[in-house]
Amino acid sequence: MRTSVWLVRHGQTRANLERRYQGLGDSPLTSYGRLQIEALAARLRPVPFGVALVSPAERARLTMEAILAGRTGVDARLDAQWAEAHQGRWEGLTYREVLARYPDEARARWAAGLDGRPQGGESLAEVHARVSAAWGRLLHEHSGGRVLVVTHATPIQLALCICFGLSPAAHWHWRIDLGSITAIDVYPSGPIVRMVNEVPRIAR
C-alpha cells in the first residue's frame, strides 16, 4: 500500500516577479502566474485526489481552486503547517532593501544558520519542525490515499529532506520552481520519487 503525495508550488505573484521576500504576506498573481495555474490544472486533471491540503496564502488557495475546479468528492482543507516561512519585518522587501535597512540583522541571520531569523519571523529550524509534523500527520491520516498539497518552495524542499533523512540545511539542493509539481509515493519500505520540479508546459 502506498500513499501518493503531490506537492504543488503556487503560480507566480508580483512579489515573486520583483524578487521580494514573501512568506505569510500576500501578493497578487501575475498574468503569467494565472497561466501557470491553468497549466497545473490541465496537467493534474487525470489525477483523482481524495484530499487536498493548502497553505492559507491566497496564492496557494487560488492555485488549489484552479486544480480542483469541476471536481467533486475532494476533501479540501486549509493547513497552516504548509505555509511558507514567515519573513517577519523582511516581508515585502528585496534583499538589497534588507541590507540597506537591517545590515546587522541580515549578517546575524545568515551567521546563525538553521536558527537565524528576521525580526518577527521564523528560522529554518522552526519551519522544518512544523513541516515534519505536517508530513507525519499527512501519512498517518491519509495512509493509502492520493493527496494534493498546494504550498510553497521551502516546505516542498524540506519535505524532500525529511523523506531522505537529510539535514534541513541541505534544502537548497532541491530546485522548486513556481508552478511546479513534485510527487512522492510513500511505501512502508520507504519513499519513491515520481518527479521533482516538473513545470507543466503553458499553452500559448
Catalytic member of 10, 86, 128, 152: 10
**3-state SS of the chain: helix, strand, coil percent to 5?**
45, 20, 35
Name the catalytic one among 84, 86, 91, 171.
84
List the alpha helices (DSSP H) in the chain.
14-17, 31-44, 58-68, 95-101, 103-111, 124-141, 153-163
Give Dmax over CA atoms of the chain in angstroms.
Answer: 53
What's the CA gap between 145 and 139, in Å, rounded? 9
User: Is 171 in the active site?
Assistant: no
Q: Are 179 and 39 in contact (CB under 8 A)?
A: yes
- Considering only CA atoms, which of 189, 170, 147, 175 is closest in space to residue 44? 147
**Rounded Cα gap, residues 168 and 65, in angstroms:** 30
How is residue 187 written as a grid cell? 511505501
End-to-end CA distance of the chain: 39
Say whether 140 is catalytic: no
Q: Active-site residues: which are they?
A: 10, 84
